[in-house]
Structure 1
């Protein structure tokens, strides 16, 4: 049976995606029109099939290759090969090594105090604005997330100096600008030259820390770099891995926290339940200990429901190396299999009233009723996000600190519109007023 989908267009599908308001909205429209499996045009892919049914997704969970053309824009960032599209024989041991660090509780605990200090500093800054001026959640929280991942990936108390953060933002702006063809205020050559200088600065900073590890020096220790050095990874691959960690971690974590606070601002009754839980668990303390996180069940459900409604990374893609039977359909070899995470999370068969914000969907009893792949904010399979556990710890900590101290309310008249910019971004930030709250 032929896979349903829209008629081909001469522009390769670009116009349809733009008319829908971005690829994330286009995917939701496609599946609403054509069902759980859709054939569509995707720039950079000859044959693309999107799957929004979590049961059918299981037949693709083994796929271990990403389409190279879709990630070409990142290639100049790397020296030893684009880490997003490594072949399976290289990717598998590299992934295993990363998981041994990023998913490990000992590493999370070692960095938790530093994460807490960075979060508390932002909360103190916001306290000065309370009742006077709105805060820009995305701007401030992605900056916080970048400082946290710099501290984690680079190590040391001074692992996120302004020069490193500024350099990374220059690099990120340039390469995402190329992806989305965004024209900056400066001529293209000047932007490219500045990005190249910033990239050199970042690589030099990583090299300095790698050298400290190799010499056995005690300064600037990093669990991530230490594991890569111990595994005998070559310097270029170590630099690439650190760059990939900074790229993947800070925007996704920052926007996940931002969307969560936005949703809680629209649902003050749920926010109050989370605040009451924080009072019960933390008492007079303004920040949780690492062991407290597992007791914050209301907060955990709220974060998960937020990432269902607003998945930070709205989609993923794999490539078939052989034909795959998918229910009544066959996906040919060499096709791009597209994972529309947002459409999957809005599938009404598994999420009744999908547009509603209902954290109780994530009680253990409700989770047990759904297919395994009905909720995939970090992807799945051998190319799923290696930093999922670390990102969750960071997000839970930041939310706990902020919701213990503040109430968040929307700014009247400020429209919050999701747009796809590598992550699910708000077009004009998410501006909210913060007011101090007192513990019960």
Structure 2
């Protein structure tokens, strides 16, 4: 017999009391740390209070997560903060019958080799441009990695999503600035943190920025529809238009893709460089692999990436320790059995990605940086959901393969050009700001490995 929500959740261990868990989360220093503490104290399945949900059930065991892997539903309340950015319905929570065909179109582009190859040359140009800037600026002192790399990742996704819509550097700068205004306002609302300006000033600035961003996408869409801009199935806007999506849905999809990619890829790259700076043996092994694969070139071709096997292991180990997308959530659409517990329909299932990645049962000495964990042999010995930096199942990140290519390419160019050393006067403290961020950025001193004329 199916039990009601209260009965089924009451049998699951976890803290009692608290209206929405905000005080406990704040006291722990954020949801990441709170989840680690909960699972260390109560085990792999935990019941806890979560803002936006009556009660959530958090699952940190990859074997038990399999029972949830096919869920195609997200809790509406947890993603309400994104609704103001979208006019065609919240893309994070649209129902399965809309989500499935929409996701299929996205994957045909975002996960397609043809699309990646079509944009790879421009990605190389953007990453080489950043490397040139760093080469010039490094003589003046340390470089702020996350600020620079987040801007680079946004430039990449703008080029990818808009194509000729970002033809001029000036427009690219405007887009970067507009996204910063939108994100500043959203983060202030989401985390209740102090931001520059009054509430009214930020709200007006954010609305103006959002209006501008929508107009940029509309201009590119209009050019596509009139035939003034050449596009093919490797272009995101073209694929969405050809699939019969409405102009509002196309605009929202492009903006949400750009928003999601704004910080995530950049912070993944920066945490990887941070870890390599602390592990010079691994950094030297990456450099030797790059020298061997690239020869006298400073930038890889698309085909080179598959030969950078150790670099790939380093990136994966970095995203295990510092997952750029820190957690996820689903809503059970039917009764589930997770281990010894019965979860009723309507329950919020919480994915504590950091806790999954640090589960000692599947990751011995989980706090240690050891890229060899991702050798073919060790990977084959783990459950498939032990490593989930891009989420789980039909609501996982559609841009996972694109983000990986951007990160590997950028790391290859930067590590071919420079050696990285942490600036002693700038301690690194991780905080939660939608992604796993460094409170005062990650500052590095750079020294040249290869002459710039090879680029």
TM-score by length of 1: 0.97
Is the 1:154–1:220 contact (alpha carbons within 8 Å) kept by the matching residues of 2? no
Within-5 A mapping of 1:32-111: 32-111=40-119
What is the CA deviation profile of residues 125-173 of structure 1, one whole-angstrom value per residue up to 9, with x for unaligned ones? 0001234310101000000000000000000261652112211111111
What is the CA deviation profile of residues 42-83 of structure 1, one whole-angstrom value per residue up to 9, with x for unaligned ones? 011002000000000000001111111111111010000010
Q: 2:400 aligns with which of 378, 388, 392?
A: 388
* Count of aligned pairs between the two proteins: 438
Is 1:308 matched up with 2:320? yes
Give ranges in structure 1 of 5+ residues lacking alignment.
Answer: none
How many angstroms does 1:327 deviate by?
1.2
Q: 1:277 aligns with which of 257, 272, 289?
A: 289
Is the 1:416–1:427 contact (alpha carbons within 8 Å) kept by the matching residues of 2? yes
How many angstroms does 1:437 deviate by?
1.1
Is the 2:142–2:445 contact (alpha carbons within 8 Å) kept by the matching residues of 1? yes
Is the 2:231–2:238 contact (alpha carbons within 8 Å) kept by the matching residues of 1? no
Within-5 A mapping of 1:350-369: 350-369=362-381
Is 1:179 matched up with 2:187? no
How many angstroms does 1:438 deviate by?
3.8
Structure 2 residue matching 1:356: 3-state secondary structure: coil
426-435 or 164-173: bigger deviation: 164-173
Structure 2 residue matching 1:409: 3-state secondary structure: strand
Q: Distance in 2 between matches of 1:315 and 1:5?
A: 18
Aligned to 2:3: none
Shift in CA distance, 311/176, structure 1 to aligned 2, threshold 3 Å: same
Structure 1 residue matching 2:72: 3-state secondary structure: coil
Structure 1 residue matching 2:137: 3-state secondary structure: coil
Aligned to 1:170: 181
TM-score by length of 2: 0.94
How many angstroms does 1:191 deviate by?
1.2
Is the 2:184–2:195 contact (alpha carbons within 8 Å) kept by the matching residues of 1? no
Moved over 6 A (4+): none
Is 1:20 matched up with 2:28? yes
Is 1:288 matched up with 2:329? no
Structure 2 residue matching 1:321: 3-state secondary structure: coil
Q: Distance in 1 between matches of 2:254 and 2:29?
A: 33
Is the 1:212–1:220 contact (alpha carbons within 8 Å) kept by the matching residues of 2? no
Aligned to 1:379: 391
Shift in CA distance, 87/345, structure 1 to aligned 2, threshold 3 Å: same
Aligned to 1:126: 134
